[in-house]
Chain A
Amino acid sequence: MSGGLVVRGLTVRYGGRTVVDGVDLDVVDGRVLGLVGESGSGKSTIARAVLGLAPVHAGAITVGGQEVRRLSARERARRVQMVFQDPFGSLNPRMSVGGIIREGLEALGDLPARERAAEVTRLLELVSLSPDLAQRLPRRLSGGQRQRVAIARALAARPGVLIADEITSALDVSVQAQVLNVLRGILAAERFSMLFISHNLAVVRYISDDIAVMRDGVIVETGPVDEVLAAPRHPYTRELLDAIPQLHPTA
């Protein structure tokens, strides 16, 4: 299944406070759009609005040309999926890893029951986890393993669009590298588009094709990663670029 995510004029308000203000975004089919910005700038709210977890005040959100808010929960699940930031809060502590992934397959009901076990194995292998982990409870996994389980769960629906919200922020750098590599591998193997949200510009640059810079509920600059980073036009983008601590000297 394919079809990009198009957001037009999205406005989200919480109790009279505008958190996302007329945002336009294009996650082009088969590409990765990185969304950067400070905490509280509204990145996660966009993601939640796409998934129907935040109140949309105005605007349109379409996936593959269909307005997501008019889709049934099951139809939407087939089109968009999400991976969350907190590796400890995003897996139900009372369900096994296999159960967590299987639940998505069951909810969609696309696969006959006897093929589900094989699919769970395939998904675990896809995220470089041993299928033996299926019996385990989340508490016995490391942060990086949990995030990979969360990715496998999201991919179970074979979504057209995957939203990854700060999925490496809570991880140590060496583990972050594992998760990013897994993600890159899947992007190469399966065809879907991704909205990759992070406050870390270097990580966004590494994984994304396009980039959108957000501040105070507004997208201030967007375009292909190389262009935006080589020649930032908005002062805020420049400020962000200047603020990044550099390990390697830049040219």
Chain B
Amino acid sequence: MTTSTAEVGKRPASAGRRVRPTEGRKTPGWVRGLAWKLLRLVISIWAVLTLTFLMIQFIPGDPVRLALGPDAPASLVEERRQQLGLDQPLIVQYFDYWGRMLTGDFGDSLLTQQPVSLLVEARIGNTATIVALSLVATSVVAILGGLLVGIATHRGRRPTLRTGFTLATGIAAALPDFLVAVGLVFLFAVTFTIFPVAGAAGADSFVLPTLAITLGSAATMMRVVRSSTAVVLDQDYLLVARAKRLPATRVYLRHGLPNLLTAALTLGGLQLGTVVTGTIVVENVFAIPGLGTALVQALITRDYPVVQTIMVLLAGTVLILNLLIDVALGALDPRSKRQRS
């Protein structure tokens, strides 16, 4: 892949920054990019595991005594200490923790003495359903809505729509998921009784939780998509596409959309983490037996093995999601294949 023309590497006066010449690369850029992203994922997962491990060590005083309360007999406290391995040297505990987390043996609950893996098995389905539905709903609504409104309001067109959009999404984005959830409970428990407001029995019990998470996050992301639409529509290459007299659909979908998605994903991707943790809140409002309700319960009762496990699972989901976004970005933007390294 060499270039013979003498002009390669020259730049116009306006571009102050230097661009590396393209010749002489061996590994394809995207392979290196992917390897780099995977490395980052591994490091992040290492950090999450280490921090959740250290969490117990950081707690001032005796964590087990704190968990069991001042009235628990000393023998029980000692027994639980051993169960957690707190009597072992730190380094042994650390490798033990890794071994357990990687093999899916998350230890036993301090409270119920049941294996945490059983709890996870029983509850992960509901949580996964809510998270997946919310992710899809958020992305679809935000991208479609943001794109359409962005085109419709470009360059001061339809000022009323623009104002309405800013106001509506502004309010929706400022409403936190737990408030929306409570509002929905109120509406559907008191006024309309179409959807169940508690428990997870049947598909329709996921409608309100998904709605509660999606409303705010979709509004936030939709704003991002709209403003990146405006930016992309102002780019010279879109003017060029019009100057080539391409049909409007081709101008917007073929020339606009991929560039727009790059911008929207970069910023909107940050939003997806909150979608994942949104489930913690809405599960609690709608009394859904999932990982979120279990996590909050465990936090209050200081059931450390459960807390560690669920935190690792949720954090891992977020990290993998971010990797996927990164990969998608790399696929959308040919420049990133080279520039990431």
Contact = CB atoms under 8 A, between A and B. Distances in A.
Interface residues of A, number: 8
A199 interface: yes
A39 B17 CA distance: 10
A93 interface: no
Contacts of A17: 18, 20
A17 to B, nearest CB: 8
Contacts of B15: 39
A109 interface: no
A169 interface: yes
Interface string A187-210: 000000000000100000000000
A151 B9 CA distance: 33
Contacts of A169: 13
Contacts of B18: 14, 17, 19, 40
A48 B18 CA distance: 16
A180 to B, nearest CB: 19
B26 interface: no
Contact of B11 (A14, A19, A39): A39
Interface residues of B, number: 8
Nearest to B21: A17
Interface in B1-24: 9-13, 15, 18, 20
A38 interface: yes
A14 B11 CA distance: 17
Contact of B10 (A14, A19, A38): A38
Contacts of A199: 13
Nearest to A38: B10
A17 B13 CA distance: 20
A40 B7 CA distance: 13
Most buried by A among B9, B15, B18, B20: B18
Contacts of A39: 10-13, 15
A14 B9 CA distance: 16
Interface string B9-43: 11111010010100000000000000000000000
Contacts of B20: 17
Interface in A1-28: 14, 17, 19
A39 B10 CA distance: 8
B168 to A, nearest CB: 35
Most buried by B among A17, A19, A40, A169: A40
Interface string A82-109: 0000000000000000000000000000
Contacts of A38: 10
Nearest to B13: A39
B284 to A, nearest CB: 48
A244 to B, nearest CB: 15
Nearest to A44: B16
Contacts of B11: 39-40
A18 to B, nearest CB: 12
Interface of A: 14, 17, 19, 38-40, 169, 199
4 closest A-B pairs (Cβ-Cβ)?
Answer: A39-B13, A40-B11, A39-B11, A40-B18
16 contacts: A14-B18, A17-B18, A17-B20, A19-B18, A38-B10, A39-B10, A39-B11, A39-B12, A39-B13, A39-B15, A40-B9, A40-B10, A40-B11, A40-B18, A169-B13, A199-B13
Given A39-B15, A40-B11, 7 more contacts: A17-B18, A17-B20, A19-B18, A39-B10, A39-B11, A40-B18, A169-B13
